[in-house]
Structure 1
Amino acid sequence: MYAMLKHLHMTLALLSIIGFILRGVLLATGSGLMQKKLLKIAPHIIDTILLITAIGLMVTINSYPFYNASWLSAKLIALIGYIGFGIIAFKAGRPIATRVVTFFAALGCVGYILAVAITKNPTLGL
């Protein structure tokens, strides 16, 4: 069960990241594809299932953020940062410089999440 959940979680995380980058590129190029229903709905479906698999993995390994797994706490905080930066990056009406900076800040959060997931160390060995 653990292996299946872990591989599904990693696959969904990859799809989520690719989708985020794709939407960023489409936004930057002014593509009308951003208005397609699939590009508006798919991220929510993928991210919801990603969250469900994350909860399943936590229960399976009996590790919980803010209780007994500092690395999960760090990932959760970085996830909140990613969501916040992503909202700002894709919010219409914001200055382009703000949108670009927050897009890359969101990607920075993703990079940190991936590094912590691999090392299980919130300080990344620093």
Structure 2
Amino acid sequence: MYTLIKHLHISLAAASITLFVTRAWWSVRDTSRLRRRWVRVLPHVIDTGLLACGVTLMVMLRAWPQHTPWLAAKLVALLVYIGLGAVVIKGGRSATLNPTTRATFAVLAVAVFAYMVGVAVRHHPASWLA
């Protein structure tokens, strides 16, 4: 069961970042595609599944953030990623954010996501540098 949930978690993470990059591109280009119903709903479905799989793996492994530094780092990075993503997608609808600002925040969000992947792969807060 562990392997199935782990692979589902990885697949959902891949789907999540792919959809984020697509939505970020649309946000930078200021296209109406962001207002489509499936574009507003699907990310929540994917990310809820991703989080549910992550929590399930955490419970199965008995890996608690207060005792597992790499997991704590990944969760903090997740909050940063969510914040940056919200600026890109939701802030992207505002006339106050220019495309360059949205693109900058999108690149930062993808970098944080890459950091989280490194933390998960290396099981170390230093991510790919460990």
User: TM-score surpassing 0.5?
Assistant: yes
CA–CA distance in 2 between the matches of 1:28 and 1:123? 31
Distance 1:68 1:11 in 2: 26
Partner of 1:5: 5
2:117 pairs with 108, 114, 121, which one?
114
Q: Percent of aligned pairs with the same residue?
A: 33
Gaps of 5+ in 2: none
CA distance in 1, matches of 2:34, 2:50: 22
| 1:98 and 2:97 matched | no
TM-score (normalizing by structure 2): 0.90
1:26 is aligned to 2:29: no
Structure 2 distance, partners of 1:17, 1:95, is 22
> Which runs of structure 2 are paired with 1:70-89 in the superposition (5 Å)?
70-89=69-88
Cα distance per residue 1:64-91 (max 9 Å; x no partner): 11x2210000000000000001111121
- Give 3-state SS (helix, strand or coil) of 1:87's partner: helix
Q: Which residue of 1 aligns with 2:42?
A: 42
Indicate the SS of the match to 1:121.
coil
List alignment gaps of at least 5 residues for structure 1. Answer: none
How many residues are aligned here? 125
* Coordinate RMSD, CA, aligned: 1.2
User: Which deviates more from structure 2 when the two are superposed, residues 14-23 or residues 94-103?
Assistant: 94-103
Shift of 1:32: 2.1
TM-score (norm 1): 0.93
Query: Once the 2 structures are TM-superposed, how far is the Cα of residue 54 of structure 1 from its aligned partner?
Result: 0.3
The answer to whether the 8 A contact 2:27-2:102 is kept is: no
